[in-house]
Amino acid sequence: MKKLMKACTLSLAALGALTFFQTEGAHAAAQPKEPVIAKAPIMNKVIRVNRTLTVGSSIAVSLPASQISVSGATYAIQLDQTAPNFTWIRAVQRGSVTVSYYNSLGELVINYITVR
């Protein structure tokens, strides 16, 4: 009886070891060769702001002037960079201007400015 129990124990141990090595090998073969990095989808958020300024007034933007895009009646405003990361948008003449830039969160900010 002891010999039978010993034989069963050894055969179960051998079977378990064989199963373990087969599973580990199959698992290793199923792994991709290069790590896969999950990327979050890019959310293109746009913020639209309608502003009405009078000639002589101004608004502040916490960006250098080189990162600000201006289109439309560009003669209507003046960009004054007073610090490395600070720009004033001054209304100097009547007209409609679109000022756009990316804020610190990566969102596109579009200012539709009407100077009266």
Q: Is 90 exposed, middle or buried (0-12, 13-18, 19+ CB in 10 A)?
A: middle
- In percent, the amount of the chain with pLDDT more than 90 equals 58
Domains of the chain with CATH codes: 46-115 (2.60.40)
The predicted pLDDT at position 15 comes to 47
Q: What is the pLDDT of residue 83?
A: 92
CA gyration radius, the chain: 34
Of 109, 108, 73, the C-alpha closest to 91 is 73
- Lowest-pLDDT range of 8-22, 33-47, 54-68: 8-22
Report which of 62, 59, 74 is spatially closest to residue 101, judged by C-alpha positions: 62
- Identify the residue with better confidence: 78 or 24: 78
Predicted model pTM: 0.61
Lowest mean pLDDT among 12-26, 58-72, 78-92: 12-26
Positive/negative CA dihedral, 59, 61, 62, 64: negative
Paired residues of 96 in beta bridges: 114
pLDDT, tens digit, for every residue of 88-108? 999 999 999 999 999 888 899
Q: Please give the average per-residue pLDDT across 6-20, as a whole number.
A: 51
Measured at the CA of 51, the angle between CA 50 and CA 55, to 5 degrees, comes to: 150
